[in-house]
A and B are shown apart, each in its own frame.
Chain A
């Protein structure tokens, strides 16, 4: 059977639905040692900021049951180095680039959108709304306030090239993820990415101190998958026309089927890249096999299947 793996995220068509999650693939260079990154749907880059950032102190990572806590604190070289070194490399390898941007304050997001829009070859901008805003006295995330998140999305949309899709990356640990999603769409987000890591904590049983510096880290991995699938399901139900990239604990091709059935048009592979550097192509192969064994001719047919009465597709 010749399965059609193509999926659409609004105006953006990808050859298949498997993409990388921001922060879990660098800019593709490291994973390219293990597979051809042109094979996957797209690489979502690590969030880029305007200036270099040294990030948070160590320890930055703790293993938890079916997951990990991390707190890298947005370490990165800044947009200049990204545009000079990382993006050209990714594009030269035939990779499709979803560029994740993070800012301290709304204006930085706008400037990043303007700079990245000026580069040919970028496929989409993903707006990281889950980083703490240093400009906020309480260190809240943009996603903690739907109005502020919408303001960021609106700024990015107005500074980005009009044909460049803007995706809003949502947090799951908010009072109302549907309200957040709706606010971002009303601010003209072309699509949604969900979910980011969830705030959590682990205590070192030996020292009785927090296992990661700063105490609170971002929980990722299969431990958060049901939460992520739930968010995708609820948001797709409320906003069925809005494309979603689903992510959170994807480990196998079956997980991609699950996210797409819940309403995702594409699915990002995240933390599993750390433990299995070939995960993206393995997940894509398993997903393709899952479609073939079910007799589903087009991957896009899966999107939202869990919302439809009957026996699925």
Chain B
């Protein structure tokens, strides 16, 4: 319907490959590839047209290439029947894909030093981001973590495209034993980072935001929240986020995110309705002082 919004397409699978502990699927999707900006995601129907598995699975876009008019690659781990079905796809199978969805990572206007922090398969969207930042003359450093060596995604690529790359594993099987936040402060200082970009589980994003805060630099986080539609209509993926006006709203991760400024996400209140959120029970904001709503506020 437009040149920039998402499209729904039946895409031929180009290939499915194992990458460390994960799978990567590349599909031919020119319309999605040409609209894509770093940080956006696709949602993929699983199980076939008459499957009892109704809901799409969201995946961050990991790579976009100009081949065949435009290809899109996304990464996933097999976690249930839907992802198990995806892992069984073969070249030339068709996948029903909607994308690109969500708000992309904002890019700095000037060349600045950026540290990209990823956990597990959450690292995937950081790679196209790194390339976008490099094209703008930014310095890029990586901090990637995972439970074990095979869950630190694409360490070799990270080393190749970044100035420095530091790795952590929970079990110490690769890089430094511990969490990404154990090394992040040192990286920020040594690389004189101006901004942090992070993607991974919510507790990691919370900890990364705290580290960035102690160093006084901004952080952009891409959240992973369960969602049914990915297009903004189901209202199931909401998290509490503080707006520029200081008011907390329950916003949709899919269309208002998945990228937010870390300090605006109320990580301690995720999974709750904060008492002071717009429209919370007992909320007293009604009347003359009600804030104006903009198109990206709650629907």
Contact = CB atoms under 8 A, between A and B. Distances in A.
Contacts of B278: 52, 54
A46 interface: yes
A66 B1 contact: no
A278 B5 CA distance: 14
A277 B279 CA distance: 28
Interface in A25-56: 25-27, 30-36, 46, 51-56
Specify the main secondary structure of chain A where it touches its partner: loop
A54 B234 contact: no
Nearest to A85: B293
Contacts, number: 145
Interface in A69-85: 70, 72, 75-78, 80-81, 85
Nearest to B272: A57
Contact of B273 (A55, A81, A86, A271): A55
Contact of B235 (A55, A63, A222): A55
B255 A30 contact: yes
Nearest to B253: A58
Contact of B233 (A51, A57, A221, A273): A273
Interface residues of A, number: 50
A58 B53 contact: no
Interface in A12-34: 23-27, 30-34
Given A26-B233, A77-B297, A275-B229, A67 B285 contact: no
A33 B238 contact: no
Contacts of B6: 33-34, 277
Contact of B234 (A56, A61, A278): A61
A278 B279 CA distance: 31
A36 B54 contact: no
A116 B196 CA distance: 47
A58 B270 contact: yes
Specify the main secondary structure of chain B where it touches its partner: loop
B285 A52 contact: yes
A120 interface: no
Interface string A128-142: 000000000000000
A67 B290 CA distance: 38
Contact of A76 (B233, B281, B299): B299
A274 B55 contact: yes
Which residue, B56, B227, B273, has most C-beta atoms of chain A within 10 A?
Answer: B273
Contact of A30 (B7, B226, B233): B233
Nearest to A26: B233
A269 to B, nearest CB: 12
A275 B231 CA distance: 10
A66 B52 CA distance: 4
A142 B279 CA distance: 22
Interface in B201-244: 225-229, 231-239
A65 B81 CA distance: 11
A72 B273 contact: no
A302 B237 CA distance: 39
Given A32-B1, A33-B5, A33-B6, A58 B228 contact: no
27 contacts: A30-B232, A33-B1, A34-B1, A35-B1, A51-B279, A53-B279, A54-B278, A57-B273, A58-B270, A60-B235, A61-B227, A61-B237, A65-B52, A68-B54, A70-B234, A72-B234, A75-B235, A75-B250, A76-B279, A76-B298, A80-B290, A85-B293, A272-B54, A274-B231, A275-B45, A277-B8, A277-B229
Given A36-B1, A55-B273, A61-B234, 11 more contacts: A33-B1, A33-B5, A52-B283, A54-B250, A66-B52, A68-B54, A68-B228, A72-B235, A274-B54, A274-B229, A277-B231
Interface of B: 1-2, 5-8, 45, 52-56, 96, 98, 225-229, 231-239, 249-250, 255, 270-273, 277-281, 283, 285-286, 290, 293, 295, 297-299
Interface of A: 23-27, 30-36, 46, 51-61, 63, 65-68, 70, 72, 75-78, 80-81, 85-86, 213, 221-222, 271-278
